Amino acid sequence: MTPHWAALMYHATPARHEDADYFAVPAPALARQLTWLRERAIAGRSLEAVLDAGAESHGVAITFDDAHRSNYDVAFPLFAEAGMSATIFVVPAWVGRTGYCTWSQLRELQAGGWSIQSHTQTHPFLSTLDAAAVTRELVDSRREIEDNIGAPVVTLALPNGDWPRRRFRHLLHDSGYRHIATSRWHANGDAERRRGVFGRYTVRRGTMPEAFESMVRQLPGTLSRESLRLSTLSLVRSALGVRRYGALRRYLVERRAAAPAAGMTPPP
Ligand SMILES: [Zn+2]
């Protein structure tokens, strides 16, 4: 059995703490996290590089959802300085919009060793879609990214952590995806590799250094508290239904203030 390894999930990475919403990690915190990894000789790499590396040297997989412009402006130089790379999950319908990366920025990231993968075409709740619509989200995004980047798309990050209905899940594989990145809070080992379905730990503005260390090192204490918070989220989601839940999430994420209720929001 190979040792378990962690995948981390980031969203926006603004330069200043004041510009960081609930799921954002501002530059000073991100820089500290990369320094912490580097000082311990823990390699931060794309999910695909970690999977290709085999059993011996997993390090930690680092992923960014939504392809925020700040990932290019702020995270990319910090990663280059640290000698690290990451996977960025792109929503083609958002590329070039205010606040999001352009294709030419994404090509620069790829040239810098980053892996450019899919987060669906329009970021829907996949469980609300029929088979044809799920297929469009999966296939259109893969093609558009491959056409613009010129490298294979093999991984899908589920938007809002939401799976297609069970009877449509074969469409993920049928549409060319080998790996699924979820928002579930767990480490990855042989079983995840066999299934091609990977857990990720959310790093956010409020992630304290000891929580970050627990994620990377698989220390139980902080992880179980944060995990409890996230299981509360899925209960809230079941109770509200995904549409009302999505509206609540948008409302909370768009508020800049760190209201305690914002602890109830799932990763976008
Ligand atoms: Zn997202």
For 38-93, write each residue's pLDDT tens digit.
999 999 999 999 999 875 566 899 999 999 999 999 999 999 999 999 999 999 99
Q: How far apart are the first and last CA of the chain?
A: 33
From ligand 1's centre to the CA of 197, what distance in Å?
A: 17
Average pLDDT score over residue span 179-192:
93
Q: Would you kindly state where each structural domain of the chain is located, as residue ranges?
A: 6-219
Tell me, in angstroms, the distance from the centre of ligand 1 to residue 66's CA.
5
Average pLDDT score over the chain: 88
CA distance 18 to 193: 38
- Distance (Å) from CA 28 to ligand 1 centroid: 23
Residue 44, both tokens: 């931060």
- Orientation angle between helical segments 220-240 and 242-254, nearest 10 degrees: 120
Cβ atoms of 156 and 120 within 8 Å: the answer is yes
| Region 126-132 average pLDDT | 98
Give the distance (Å) from ligand 1 centre to CA of residue 11.
8
* Domain with residues 6-219, CATH architecture: Alpha-Beta Barrel (3.20)
CA–CA distance, 249 with 234 (Å, rounded to integer):
12
Q: What is the mean pLDDT of residues 236-245?
A: 69
- DSSP notation for 162-191: PPPPGGGTHHHHHTT--EEE------B-HH
- DSSP run (H or E) holding 75: none
Q: How far is the CA of 1 from the centre of ligand 1 (A)?
A: 32
Which residue type, as a one-letter code, is found at position 195?
R
